[in-house]
Amino acid sequence: MAPTALILVLVVAGAYIRYTKSVKYHHPPGPAAVPLLGNVHQLPMEYQQRKLAEWGRQFGDVVFAKFFRTPVVVLNSKEAAVDLMEKRSAKYSDRPPFILLKELCVDCPANIAAAVATNPPSPSLPSMGWDSVINNLPYGERFRKHRKWLQDAFTSKAALMSYRPIQRRETYTLLWAGAMVLDIAYGYRVTSLDDRLVETAERTTVETVIAGSPGSMLVDFFPILKGIPLWMPGSGFKRQAFHVKTLVRKTLDTPYEMVKRAMMAGTAAPSLTASLVEEALAEGTLTAEHEEDIKGAAGVVYAAGSETTVTTLKTFVLAMVLHPEVYQRARAEIDRVVGPERLPDFEDREHLPYLECVVKEVFRWNAPVPLGVPHRLNSDDVYRGHDLPDGAMVIPNIWWMTQNPEVYSNPEKFDPDRYLRMSTDESERMDPRNVVFGFGRRICPGQVFADASVWLAAANIIAALDLSFAKNALGRDIVPDAAFISGFVSQPKQFKCAFRPRTEQTLSLIAHMNAVNIVTA
């Protein structure tokens, strides 16, 4: 048989096998797919959550699509997400391969050196080095180990209470999220805005997003591409991955080694890293692989925690600038409950119901991670009479869950009062924090800590600072747009505003509380 004819036979046979496999399934409704591309050509380059929501309005809250050959299940409602990702979490807690982030093997060091202007990374390590963080781990024993560590660190009441002095200190100094998580993860105290560890970690996070968010690159759908050499056209994703990898290794390795040196010197401050190392040393389990797990667990505290928490705080500030009436109403409540002699603290939270509505609305108005991180179905399933295939990528459209007008009226409007118009049970059921932190066994383990940090910062900003429009050269207000950047994390577009101490008494109170918490934290 001629080579051309043989190739044709193989192509036809492969197509027939795929067809016979597909016809046995009764998939949920979804957009018509085309050969090879599936539906990926229908996705815009930006704000993909809007297209997925459009599919939801057309086909229902559970949509079936294909991104190239990968089956995809899009969940456009909280009900469907809870039914599958929580009630059937044993099947829905895996992750897609994320080859770009954690599986791509490098070429020989000589080729890397020619393509990358920095020192070549070790060829034994994954391209970006994020394989040891819980966000990217496949469901299994290693995932459960990381989850237990992080749950112990962020869900027990004792642990959360122990972090309160750090939360207070960083709120009063407004160095905030990056400093808090570095202190908790490594016992490292940030003392300036240009801190080297903060700068490195922030750069690593930004460069990772630029290089490609989870599942967004062709190599994630066509693993064969990971073998192309660096000199070939289209290999730019590998060069960028190698660049990011050097940053990731620095972000994970530098603070870990710093903690180990401090432990040897007997000067280590309490931290997640120090406690895990001490535990492993006592049990005789501090192998290289175990150290990599500790680095990943501590690193994800910074990489995931600070980025989304800072995004939420920026959203809060933008909302308050655009809605001064909300700001003043929340301030009046704080003044009534707290008074002028001190600043708001955690114990005041239950007595500030309007502020609680403001925080809820901040999370709803701009969900920090619009599409979450995709899950992967690890076996065939049936839902509402439809077949969901093994290996499907499962995407929760969190943005639409918080923007669906059938769930939240006038969703584009920042309206804390919407929760006051609800009954207590309805307000709890409609709380956007029930979806923005993820679902099931993949829910963010730092949810309670992050929510408390946002609340404390919001309460103290309102109580202590006047927030208003910035002015241009002519003295006119610079009114920012209520607009958000497209991407894995939905940050507000850059905007200007003006902060001023509310009174001289407030300024003195902040200085006093900062000094007290620096001593006690």
The answer on pLDDT for 432 being more than 70 is yes
Which pLDDT does position 248 carry in this prediction? 84
Which pLDDT does position 121 carry in this prediction? 36
Known binding-site residues for heme equal 444
The burial class, CB within 10 Å (0-12 / 13-18 / 19+), for 231 is exposed
Per-residue pLDDT tens digits for 302-337: 776 677 888 999 999 999 999 999 999 999 999 999
Per-residue pLDDT tens digits for 10-32: 555 555 455 455 556 799 999 99
Which pLDDT does position 9 carry in this prediction? 54
**CA pair distance 250, 262, nearest whole angstrom:** 18
E strands of 218-326, at which residues?
A: none
**Helix (H), strand (E), coil (C) string for 138-157:** CCCHHHHHHHHHHHHHHCCH
Which pLDDT does position 111 carry in this prediction? 32
Dig out the tokens for 242 from the structure.
């190698």
Buried b (16+ CB within 10 A) or exposed e, 108-139: eeebbeebbeeebbeeeebbbbbbbbbbbbbb
The answer on pLDDT for 226 being more than 50 is yes
Which pLDDT does position 508 carry in this prediction? 74
102 with 84: CB under 8 angstroms? Answer: no
Edge-first strand listing for the sheet containing 62-67 = 62-67, 70-75, 393-396, 375-376
Known binding-site residues equal 444
Tell me phi and psi for residue 423, to 5 degrees: -70, 165
Which pLDDT does position 127 carry in this prediction? 45
Fold of 27-520: Cytochrome p450 (1.10.630)
The answer on pLDDT for 514 being more than 70 is no
**CA pair distance 364, 106, nearest whole angstrom:** 41
**CA pair distance 427, 353, nearest whole angstrom:** 12
Per-residue pLDDT tens digits for 364-389: 999 999 999 899 999 999 999 999 99
Which pLDDT does position 178 carry in this prediction? 64
343 with 513: CB under 8 angstroms? Answer: yes
**Domains in the chain: boundaries:** 27-520
**CA pair distance 266, 261, nearest whole angstrom:** 9
Closest CA to 340 of 203, 506, 112: 506
Mean pLDDT (whole number) for 174-196: 76
Q: Which amino acid is at 124?
A: S
345 with 374: CB under 8 angstroms? Answer: no
Per-residue pLDDT tens digits for 92-148: 999 987 655 555 443 333 332 333 333 333 333 344 556 777 877 889 999 999 999
**CA pair distance 393, 94, nearest whole angstrom:** 9
Which pLDDT does position 227 carry in this prediction? 56
Find the helix or strand (DSSP H, E) in which 23 lies.
helix 3-23
Which pLDDT does position 119 carry in this prediction? 36
